[in-house]
Amino acid sequence: MFGGGGQLKYDRALTVFSPEGRLYQVEYALEAVRRGTLAVAVKSKDAVCLAAQIKIASPLMDADEIDKIFQIDEHIGVAISGLHADSRALIGYTRVQAQTYRLTYDEPVLLSMLVKDVADVIQQYTQYGGIRPWGCALFFIGIDTQGTQVYTASPSGIYRSFKAYAMGNGEATAREYLRDNYSESLSFDDLVHLTLDALKSGTEEEATKENTRLAYIKSEDKQFTVAKKDEIARYLGGTD
């Protein structure tokens, strides 16, 4: 089509399928997500936890200003993987949709509805010429009338619900750790420890309170909470 051999014939235009039915630019976006720093989310019957690693590229950087986990609504949080600039745009859209629903219906939005809405927007960027797919994935946690929730939304427009999941560089090792150790009856402390242990299993760099972000929601108040450094250090076993 455009010259060259193999996939080069098909990866220069988003709307062109390869003979195998693949959209290579979408696959490239998925690879950008896999190369992002690792994030892990785990839910139990009474709580849901989200942990993420940040990359401190230089000692001159202010690590406190590096964001990986964001609040969407009182009962919803999200971690990002992939291109941060793309993620910020989607997070802004998601926040507006959550607040619009609250103002319209005077109640918090269901996470499943919100994720589907975001995934629909992402999917539109996989089918039109002149645009590119979003180079990021969103990793949602929340508690609503449907219980504890963990969702992902990928650059392909696919969204999925999980009991426990990992996304980013080292995801295969972290997912294996979760498969071997997950239980729905985890206490809150055990839930946090499992999330952090899975994160540590998938990263080569030692987890510390400086390069680890942690957030959680409990059923008792349904409030998204970002853990402070001292709390993270305590769950990490005193690691500084």
The predicted-structure confidence for 116-157, as pLDDT tens digits, reads as follows 999 999 999 999 888 999 999 999 999 999 999 999 999 999
Q: What pLDDT is stored for residue 11 in this prediction?
A: 79
- The end-to-end CA distance of the chain, in Å, is 55
Q: What is the mean predicted confidence (pLDDT) over 31-40?
A: 95
Q: Determine the distance from the C-alpha atom of residue 132 to the mean position of all C-alpha atoms in its chain, rounded to a whole number.
A: 20
Q: What is the mean pLDDT of the chain?
A: 92
Bridging pattern class, strands 39-43 and 164-167: antiparallel
Predicted TM-score (pTM) of the model is 0.91
Q: What pLDDT is stored for residue 6 in this prediction?
A: 53
Which residues have a Cβ under 8 Å from the Cβ of 49 and sit 6 or more positions away? 41, 42, 43, 141, 191, 192, 195, 214, 215, 216
In the chain, the percentage of residues whose pLDDT exceeds 70 is 95
Q: What pLDDT is stored for residue 58 in this prediction?
A: 86
Tens of pLDDT, residues 54-94: 998 888 888 888 889 999 999 999 999 999 999 999 999 99
Q: What pLDDT is stored for residue 57 in this prediction?
A: 84
Identify the CATH homologous superfamily for domain 6-235. Aminohydrolase, N-terminal nucleophile (Ntn) domain (3.60.20.10)
CB atoms within 10 A of CB 107: 10
Q: What pLDDT is stored for residue 7 in this prediction?
A: 55
Lowest mean pLDDT among 12-26, 100-114, 121-135, 162-176: 12-26
Q: What pLDDT is stored for residue 240 in this prediction?
A: 42
Structure tokens at 155: 């650059």
Tens of pLDDT, residues 170-198: 999 999 999 999 998 999 999 999 999 99
Q: What pLDDT is stored for residue 94 in this prediction?
A: 98
Q: Are 122 and 155 in contact (CB under 8 A)?
A: yes
- CB hemisphere CA count around 127 (13 angstroms): 7
Q: What pLDDT is stored for residue 87 in this prediction?
A: 95
Q: Where are the domains positioned within the chain?
A: 6-235
Q: What pLDDT is stored for residue 59 in this prediction?
A: 86
Q: What pLDDT is stored for residue 8 in this prediction?
A: 60
